[in-house]
Amino acid sequence: MNFDLTEEQRLVRDTARDFAAREIAPKASEIDKAGRWPSEIIAKMAELGFLGMAIPEPYGGAGLDTLSYSLVMEEISAACASCGVIMSVNNSLFCDPLFKFGTEQQKKEVLTPVAQGKKLGCFGLTEPMSGSDAQTMATNAVKTADGWVLDGAKNWITNGPHADYILVFAVTDRSGPRIKHTAFLVPKGTPGYTQAKPDHKLGIHAAHSCTVFFENCKVPDSAVVGAVGEGFKVAMATLDGGRIGIASQALGIAKAALETSVRYAKERKSFGVPIAQHQAIQFMLSDMATELDAARLLTWRAATMKDAGARHTMQSSEAKLYASEMATRVAHKAIQIHGGYGYSTEFPVERHYRDARITEIYEGTSEIQRIVIAASVLKG
Ligand code: CAA
């Protein structure tokens, strides 16, 4: 088994690391505290090709592989988890399904500017009364002579307040034993499509999310993405990729928490020696490093399988489950190593702890990942 990165993957990772250190890390605390949408960082990520990383160049992307995407996600998220999720939603939840399921016209007119980062996308699946049980959504789309009329609400829509397009899922047939869903592409500004104010959250303060509403929102037939009635599969296949993005975000948060802890443990003294010399601290650092490596291997495996075109539902869920819970454990230990300073907003580890927590929730809670994994295990 070969764990070496290619020269191109190393170059992409180093570019992201350098960019994150120079342009993102110095601002991470400020944008978190102010809850400021980082427009200037998003523009620079676009210039570097980070907003459509695995989309082929003819459609505005960087034409790289999923492992490169994971490497960049880790570096960006280590500097700022908010910037990480803004990037991940655009890449995994918008560009990826549009490339896989979109028409040629949708790819030319919408995917291309979004993959270039000239426009931004978001993904509307979750509703006020349906999160984990995604199929039972209340949003409807009714067929008319020349298109569809959407009615409903979606919430926790990351990038929602700023996105130029939403890929939204609605029920189009409730007549059979199983309800059927369809995916639609709706541009911002379409009459009947509105956005509420940004949500207040525990962490990832700079990544704005909001509730969006569809009220008698008319879209043409050309807004349908994938086949009519097959929208749930579009959503699920999209999340198979999205969960690699969130696992990578968790890797970045944990990496930052570990690196900060190592630095602090070498500087801070107690009982006459740097605390790094105490076995109690060394054991924590050992566990943090080991868990981080284990999560990275799971994530890289899922990314590699996606690139090979293999079904990777279970592997993505394993990566997302383990990496997200690992990030919380690592950030928890990072605060412990920092003692009182870890609890203070002057040090970054409290931000890592708050930011880690969401990775256990969005794009499927840990409980949902366990359901997906169990289904595969039991199927054999
Ligand atoms: N790929 C392709 N098709 C899939 C699939 C996949 N990964 N998973 C399921 N399907 C298909 C099934 O084969 C089945 O097809 P048939 O009807 O032809 O048999 C169909 O989809 C329904 O599958 P299930 O019966 O397994 O569906 P379910 O209702 O039992 O639900 C679930 C499965 C795993 C619980 C799913 O509802 C789920 O993942 N829930 C969590 C939703 C979620 O992750 N939400 C996150 C929102 S996005 C977000 O957070 C974005 C953000 O802002 C950052």
220 forms bridges with which residues in the sheet?
147
Domain extent listing, the chain? 7-119, 122-230, 233-379
Output the pTM of the full model.
0.98
- What CA–CA distance (Å, rounded) separates 112 from 99? 10
Ligand 1 centroid, distance to 62 Cα (angstroms):
28
Between β-strands 121-124 and 165-173, what pairing exists: parallel, antiparallel or unpaired? parallel
Structurally, at CATH architecture level, domain 7-119 sits in Orthogonal Bundle (1.10)
Residues of the chain with pLDDT under 70: none
Supply the pLDDT for residue 1.
77
Ligand 1 centroid, distance to 233 Cα (angstroms):
7
Closest C-alpha among 13, 88, 101 to residue 52: 88
Please report which helix (H) or strand (E) contains residue 141, including its range.
strand 140-143
DSSP 373: H
C-alpha distance across the termini of the chain, in Å: 24
What token pair was written down for 48? 């570097």
Supply the pLDDT for residue 380.
81
Grouping H, G, I as helix, E, B as strand and the rest as coil, residue 153 is: strand
- Residues 127, 230, 350, 363: which is the catalytic one? 363
Supply the pLDDT for residue 3.
86
Ligand 1 centroid, distance to 100 Cα (angstroms):
17
Q: What's the topology of domain 122-230? A: Butyryl-CoA Dehydrogenase, subunit A; domain 2 (2.40.110)
* Residues contacting ligand 1 via CB (< 6 Å): 85, 89, 93, 123, 125-126, 132, 134-135, 156, 158, 232-233, 236-237, 239-240, 313, 362-364, 368, 371-372
CATH superfamily of the 233-379 domain: Butyryl-CoA Dehydrogenase, subunit A, domain 3 (1.20.140.10)
What token pair was written down for 306? 């996606």
